[in-house]
Structure 1
Amino acid sequence: MDDSRNIYFLLNKNFHLLDLAGPAQALQEAILLGANFEIHYIGFIDKINSAQNLKVINIDPPPTVIEDNSIVIVTASQYKDEIFKDPESILSAKWLNSIYNPNITLIGICTGCFLIAQSGLLDHKKCTTHHSLTNILQKKYPQLQVVPDQIFVKDKNIFTTAGVTAGIDLILYLLEKCFNLNLSLQVARDLVVYRRRMSNDSQHSIHIQYRNHISPLIHKVQDYISKNYTQNINQSQLAEDHNISLRHLQRSFKTFTGITIHKYINLIRLEEAKSLIENGYKIEYAGHLTGFPNTSSLRKLLNKSNI
């Protein structure tokens, strides 16, 4: 599989720095870790002033054709009643409509959703934006299906986010989809952020919960568990492999995550087993594939989780 991607950041007047810099930094970290991405900054003005009054120059003009597998990210601009009504933004909306196809991924960060809506590409689709603007978005574009209080929403190949740090959450999610969970976790750790995997159903993946800490040791242990949950994980061996005592490992894990190692392993196994069952696997086989010692152990946890 070719994992190469062209990433295009579409900039317009009064863009927000963090809505650009957060996703760009996450992608750059992924590149340093081996992701085959090439980042481009495009717009219909070669000098653009940000909402924070930092001027960006040498912006490339948008290409007439976007390659398959590319990602186009529409950055947010400061909200005003006349947002995206300047000539260059109108050109941006027309350009989005002209290059759009099912083989690219289109992302609207925060108010970037307004520009995509202006292009017509969000008609009758689910989307979101910053929580303070969801009602305004719905009133301005009644043909949209605006979902409030979501970190990000996906409808086919179009993603929209709540903005600010939510742009980072979405990029981490896409890194997992384009590559793997471990790359996404490594980028999140390098950025010192709590990695949240939240899609349009508001589900949190157990693989990425309990990461709101900065202990390198416990992150390493969690990474090991995420890779090896189908195996019989011996906690004494886990402690020895990480050069600490079993007591210290157990105490530190509980301190930093709030739960025990045993519960963390079972939660990961349970999430994976639920997914298999929902996709038609028998409970016995799902338990076997996800590392449960027996079917009764899985049934007990399923009953507690009210599946």
Structure 2
Amino acid sequence: MRKIIFVIPPKVHLLDINGPAHIFYEAKEYGADVELQFISLNNKTEIESSAGLYFNQLVTFNQIELQENDVLFIPGFEFSLISNKTFLESIQPFLDWVTTQYHKGVHICSVCTGSFILAETGLLNQKIATTHWKYFDQFSKKFPYVVLAKDRLFTSSKNIHSSAGVSSGIDLSLFLIEQFFGTKFALDIAKEAVVYFRRSTSDPQLSIFLQYRNHLDQRIHNAQDYLMHNLSKAPTAEELANQVHMSKRNLTRLFKKTVGITIGKYLEKLRVEKAISLLSEGNKVDFVAKQIGFKSPNQVRFILKKHQDILPTEISSLDK
């Protein structure tokens, strides 16, 4: 059984903790062999959140025994505490404990300003991490040896994971569930949790969202959304640029820099996923061609042949 441990610090931000906790709760309901526990980083068993809601019957951190591949979440909480020297000195035993868990092979995750606490351990030095955009300057100044990613919803580096805050903790949780239990399982959990981009278990955009949407550039998100919703229209780069009020040259450059692949490659992945979904539902190839912006069924066959390794067995034959 994999333990999923949630730290409840004083003045914790509710969504930072409740979002990831609910995702893993749903995973457990779907059959994942996980156990959720909630702990304090001091000797208090009752903690008041930043919104005034209380957590009680917490277990003190040093009463928990973790093993390799267990997961520890450190959520964000009020910055006045995070930047308080006396408070930080008081939780030094907890910081030492976190370091020990990491060396055991435990996955250490931060949400929002929880990255400040994680950075206090020194585990983030020379690693990529992120935090809430509001605190970029403070983080960079205090932790100059951490590579701060300012354009990412979450990061992952050698069992150290960080997320920008609030709903991105949910994105990180889904990412971890995908790593542990597979993409199909993650899609099911997202659907159950009614995460907005998880519209169905067969929605072709879902895995692409997980792979290429963990950035914070709204213009590029808008471009990706437009491509997803207008596949049948086969939008050109010029049309896409007009939609997001950018020049074609600037969009092409920024898309590659932000997403990591070109617009053309991203569009191809969208088409492949959509084609697989439609064919799995029993649609004919000529219908699929129109839905993904192709003029002939042969174009569908050609693009799927390039991605033969990911085709489900039920659509390996395209003679429809």
Matches within 5 A, 1:98-247: 98-101=100-103, 103-195=105-197, 196-198=209-211, 202=215, 210=228, 229=276, 233=279, 237-238=282-283
In the alignment, structure 2 segments of 5+ residues that lack a partner are 198-208, 230-271, 316-320
Equivalent residue number for residue 52 of structure 1:
51
Moved more, 99-108 or 74-83: 74-83
Equivalent residue number for residue 255 of structure 2:
none
**In the alignment, is the contact (CA less than 8 A) between 1:108 and 1:160 conserved in 2?**
yes
Q: CA deviation at 1:53?
A: 1.1
**In the alignment, is the contact (CA less than 8 A) between 1:153 and 1:199 conserved in 2?**
no
The reply to whether residue 262 of structure 1 matches residue 259 of structure 2 is no
**In the alignment, is the contact (CA less than 8 A) between 1:26 and 1:187 conserved in 2?**
yes
Q: Give the 3-state SS of the residue equivalent to 1:134 in structure 2.
A: helix
Equivalent residue number for residue 301 of structure 1:
none
CA RMSD of aligned residues (A): 3.8
Q: Deviations over 1:54-95 (max 9, x none)?
A: 111111011364211100111111222753641553332222
Taking structure 1 as reference, are residues 27 and 52 closer, same or farther at Cα in structure 2, changes over 3 Å only? same
**Distance in 2 between the 1:84 and 1:170 partners?**
27
Taking structure 1 as reference, are residues 113 and 260 closer, same or farther at Cα in structure 2, changes over 3 Å only? farther
TM-score (norm 2): 0.65
Moved more, 51-60 or 81-90: 81-90
User: Partner amino acid for 2:105?
Assistant: N
**In the alignment, is the contact (CA less than 8 A) between 2:16 and 2:165 conserved in 1?**
yes
Taking structure 1 as reference, are residues 155 and 199 closer, same or farther at Cα in structure 2, changes over 3 Å only? farther
**Distance in 2 between the 1:210 and 1:58 partners?**
46
Aligned residues: 242
Equivalent residue number for residue 11 of structure 1:
8
Q: Give the 3-state SS of the residue equivalent to 1:93 in structure 2.
A: helix
What's the % identity of the aligned pairs?
A: 25
In the alignment, structure 1 segments of 5+ residues that lack a partner are 212-224, 240-245, 251-258, 274-283, 294-307
Equivalent residue number for residue 67 of structure 2:
67
Q: CA deviation at 1:98?
A: 2.6
**Distance in 1 between the 2:280 and 2:188 partners?**
24
**In the alignment, is the contact (CA less than 8 A) between 2:10 and 2:47 conserved in 1?**
yes
User: Partner amino acid for 2:55?
Assistant: V
Higher fraction of helix: 2
Equivalent residue number for residue 41 of structure 1:
38
